[in-house]
Amino acid sequence: MRILVIEDDANVAGFVAKGLREAGHVVDVADNGKDGLFLATTEAYDALVLDRMLPQVDGLTVLRTLRASGSAVPVLLLSALGEVDDRVQGLRAGGDDYLTKPFAFVELLARIEVLARRPRAGAAAETVLRVADLELDLLARSVRRAGHAIELQPREFRLLEYLMRHAGQVVTRTMLLEAVWDYHFDPQTNVIDVHVSRLRGKLDKSHPRPLIHTVRGAGYRLADDGA
């Protein structure tokens, strides 16, 4: 994927670009809002990493200008401000996700990949999600694996839905909490792990090929490959 990083802190920009390149992406870096806006409007990117505080033209202005010009490129906002108001403000300006500095690189990578591979608006809405022999029917609210029905609690259903929508991608614990519980907060303990392991118990029990994988140091991945 082609990713544009607009960040004036050379340290952060360097380590983000290096990490993304190592993950197999093509990365451009702009160190101010003006250059960043120019690149974003003239080149085609799959995703943007945009710092809020930038010299010349600030991040939110870049974002608003970009959206006003009709660009729907997914944008991950970076900010040193972590307060909820800032978050809401950023998302309202057209940001797709928000990450507070300092962050772990795996968190940024997981988020940017989920963003970039998100189905574009207008794509036919799926009503049944399938991964290997696992099937999730969004209309009937039912789940079957290898033809056998699996009983899930509503929250487990949403958890599985999120994992299946991003099958093959790494999702972090924070992403799961935000997507499934719709709250942005710092859990003091790994409560989410308990939920995932429950779900895993119901899904992968008595099946030789596990579908939910733990990604060390990052989060979870639902896939059929066992990697």
Answer yes or no whether residue 83 interacts with other proteins by CB under 8 A.
yes
Give the shortest CB-189-to-other proteins separation in angstroms.
6
Residue 133 vs 193, nearer CB to other proteins: 193
* Min CB(196)–other proteins separation in Å: 10
3-state helix, strand, coil in the chain (%, to 5): 40, 20, 40
Pick between residue 67 and residue 158 the one whose CB is nearest to other proteins: 158
Helix axes 191-204, 154-165, angle to 10 degrees: 80
13 — phi, psi (to 5°)? -60, -45
Q: Are 177 and 152 in contact (CB under 8 A)?
A: no
Residue from 102, 122, 208, 226 that binds other proteins (CB under 8 A)? 102
Residue 16 CB, shortest distance to other proteins, in Å, is 10
- Quick one: 82 or 119, whose CB is closer to other proteins? 82
Under the binding rule (CB under 8 A), the answer on residue 185 touching other proteins is yes
Start-to-end CA distance of the chain, whole Å, equals: 22
Sheet holding 142-145, edge to edge: 128-131, 134-137, 142-145, 148-150
Q: In the set 32, 103, 118, 162, which binds other proteins (CB under 8 A)? A: 103
